[in-house]
Amino acid sequence: MLYNNLSGYLRERYGKRLKKICVDGGFTCPNRDGRCGVGGCIYCGERGAGEHINNTLSITEQVRRGLEGGTEDDGFIVYFQNFTNTYAHVSILKQRYSAALIDSRIKVLAIGTRPDCIDEGVVRLIRSYMDRVDVWVELGLQTSSDRTAGIINRGYNTDVFTRAATLLSEYGIPFVVHMIIGLPGESYLDIDDTVEVINSVYPSGVKIHGMYVMRGTVLAEMYERGEYTPLTLDEYVTLAARAITRLRPNIVLHRITGDCPKGLLVAPEWSADKNRVIALINEKLTEWGARQGSLTEGVFPWDTVE
């Protein structure tokens, strides 16, 4: 096995793959409403990564629609995806999370958020759901470089991420860390550092995203002005494979690439073919004789990733 992937983990734990229902919980973001910034991260669209979700429906109706067509044997993950899904008073969070758990076939409650919106009250509430369903929290780190964080307008320093991850661990809540490969100005050494920070907090999972340019974002404006150049396909494949070899082998890789919502991709074109990118990463790892966590040294073409 080249890496510990999500589908394998789900089959081992539940005996089957689970279907994902993405939910817009009606939240905003402290990087948009002025608490720590405005405009959001430079790659983030107006819908906060939930461009495909029908946000005119209630949470319960969104979930009900997602369950349609499912059989009694199916299992589901409800994923609160848009913006920052712990950014509200705990009473509001409880109301919205509970509104989604309407069917016994829902096995996982997944909550996407920012590390600066994790505190003990929020963590206690999330922990209370673990008697009903499995829970994981998705933390958007993206990079461990505070210099890069300033460029992308992330709005918090990496020590905030470390504190949030530690708090989740103290309460026994699994968490998944998001990292992006191809951020403006980052080298392979920055990516190595991000992997080391992720390893240091012992997450249950990681999502690796490639940096694509989406229409209507600050990053798209930078791209049009020639201030940002996306990675080539070969560069991304090499860097993603390299990161995988450095991640702890027990971490579940929820994804190893990302694709832009249809009709919104500006660049790079290769990022739209997710299956091809995954296949090439697998080929690269096989070529190197490497796997997740192998930490193989001296076999990487440094000149292609600097």
Return the pLDDT at 295. 77
Q: Where are the domains of the chain?
A: 6-304
pLDDT tens, position by position, 98-131: 999 999 999 999 999 999 999 999 999 999 999 9
| Segment 153-170, tens digit of pLDDT | 999 999 999 999 999 999
Low-confidence stretches of the chain (pLDDT < 70) are 37, 46-55, 296-306
- What pLDDT, on the 0 to 100 scale, is given for residue 54? 62
Number of CB atoms found within 10 A of residue 128's CB: 12
pTM equals 0.93
In this prediction, residue 305 carries a pLDDT of: 42
**162 with 196: CB under 8 angstroms?**
no
The answer, yes or no, to whether the previous bond of 268 is cis (omega within 30 of 0) is yes
pLDDT at 220: 97
Say which amino acid occupies 187.
S
What CATH code is assigned to 6-304? Answer: 3.20.20.70
| Site of tokens 């817009």 | 24
8 Å CB contact between 252 and 202: no
Answer for the pair 174, 137: CB distance below 8 angstroms, yes or no.
yes
Q: Which amino acid is at 234?
A: D
Mean of the per-residue pLDDT values of the chain: 92
pLDDT at res. 299: 44
- pLDDT per position as a tens digit, 39-59: 789 998 765 454 445 668 999
pLDDT reported for residue 46: 64
Given this model, what pLDDT does residue 39 score?
A: 79
CA-to-CA distance for 223 and 234, rounded, in angstroms?
20
